[in-house]
Amino acid sequence: MKLDLDDVALFLRVAELGSLSAAARERQAPVSLVSRTLVRLEERCGARLMHRSTHGLSLTDEGDTFAAHARRMLDTRDELAAAFRHKRAGPSGWVRLSVSPILAETLIVPSLPALYEAHPQLQLEILADDRISDMARDGVDIAIRTGVALGDNLVARKIADHGRRLCASPDYLARFGTPQHPDELAAHRLITSSASPGLNRWPWSARAGRPKGAVYLAKGHTRSDNSAVLLSLALRGVGIARVNDLLSRPHITRGELVTVLDPWFDRSSIPIYAVMLPERHRLPKLRACIDHWAQWVSGAAA
């Protein structure tokens, strides 16, 4: 069986995207070229690899088998090429990163000049979205995720820890007063998440004297599904928000935010992971990025 690895890579993208036209747009190629590539692969395999219908594409049983082997072939090719590139000129090539907008803006983007200075052959594409991406379907190399359960099909490296604390702007506190006890929160304007209800369950500290695992259920006066907007709302004096330490710390240092009720609410650390597909985690370009961000985040958290 003679296979062109470029054809194999195109087959996998069609399978991941579920569309000939989407793969064609991504490659900036005619749909007819993509279709001919699939026909050529099926002829060389002697089997039908995809069902085509007006509702889209799906893999046949033979297509599933081919896809599993195809991924291993391409991963082996990438590892081999990366190993030789690394010996010649260090880590190189594109890295596709999925990260929340707020972490992208406050941590990843500021780290890039130093990353590029250390590894000038690297190139980064940043997918800034609060949703958790499908890494295989979206072609993501690294996803930055905080405190989430990880599936068996992913490899993760912890790059930092963070906690959360209640914050408000000096302007808000001047207008509405600084709460001295959690009972006073009912009279305040709270900022909550509409995308992650778990973030609105504020765990008590030991000082609060509540049963183990008890939480304060924050009822939002203002809500958003975007973490960057939540931080911006607090900075603008809209209300009190429970904010990631890594994000709030520079604003607290500059006096733009003030912590409130610190002793009453738990600040246990939550891990931040760099997550990869198992077949890609050994690539030098991914290791270089993650090593850099682990050092950078540690410095930001210090």
Selection from 29-38, 79-88, 249-258, 261-270 with the highest mean pLDDT: 249-258
d(CA 7, CA 108): 34
HEC per residue, the chain: CCCCHHHHHHHHHHHHHCCHHHHHHHHCCCHHHHHHHHHHHHHHHCCCCEEEECCEEEECHHHHHHHHHHHHHHHHHHHHHHHHHHHHHCCCEEEEEEECHHHHHHHHHHHHHHHHHHCCCEEEEEEECCCCCCHHHHCCCEEEEECCCCCCCCEEEEEEEECEEEEECHHHHHHHCCCCCHHHHHHCCEEEECCCHHHHEEEECHHHCCCCCCEEECCCCEEECCHHHHHHHHHCCCCEEEEEHHHHHHHHHCCCCEECCHHHECCCCEEEEEEECCCCCCCHHHHHHHHHHHHHHHHHHC
> What's the confidence (pLDDT) of residue 89?
61
CB 206 within 8 A of CB 249: no
Banded model confidence at residue 134, pLDDT cuts 50, 70, 90: confident
What local confidence, expressed as pLDDT, does residue 207 receive?
80
pLDDT tens, 91-120? 888 898 998 887 888 788 989 999 999 999
How far is residue 97's CA from residue 19's CA, in Å, rounded to a whole number? Answer: 23
* pLDDT tens readout for residues 52-90: 876 678 888 888 888 888 877 877 777 677 666 655 667
Which of 130, 110, 115, 83 shows the shortest CA–CA distance to 283? Answer: 83
pLDDT digits (tens, 9 = 90+) for 148-206: 655 667 888 888 887 889 999 999 999 999 999 999 999 999 999 988 888 899 999 88
> At residue 252, does pLDDT exceed 70?
yes
Task: Give CA angle at 157 (154, 162), nearest 5°.
Answer: 120
Q: What residue ranges define each of the domains in the chain, with the CATH number in brackets?
A: 5-83 (1.10.10.10), 90-161+270-301 (3.40.190.10), 164-264 (3.40.190.10)
* Nearest to 164, CA basis, from 71, 83, 267, 258: 267
The pTM score is 0.60
Cα 18 → chain centroid: 22
User: In the predicted model, what is the mean pLDDT of residues 236-245?
Assistant: 92
Is 20 in contact with 82 (CB distance < 8 Å)? no
Instruction: Please give the backbone phi and psi of residue 190, each rounded to the nearest 5 degrees, phi first.
Output: -100, 145
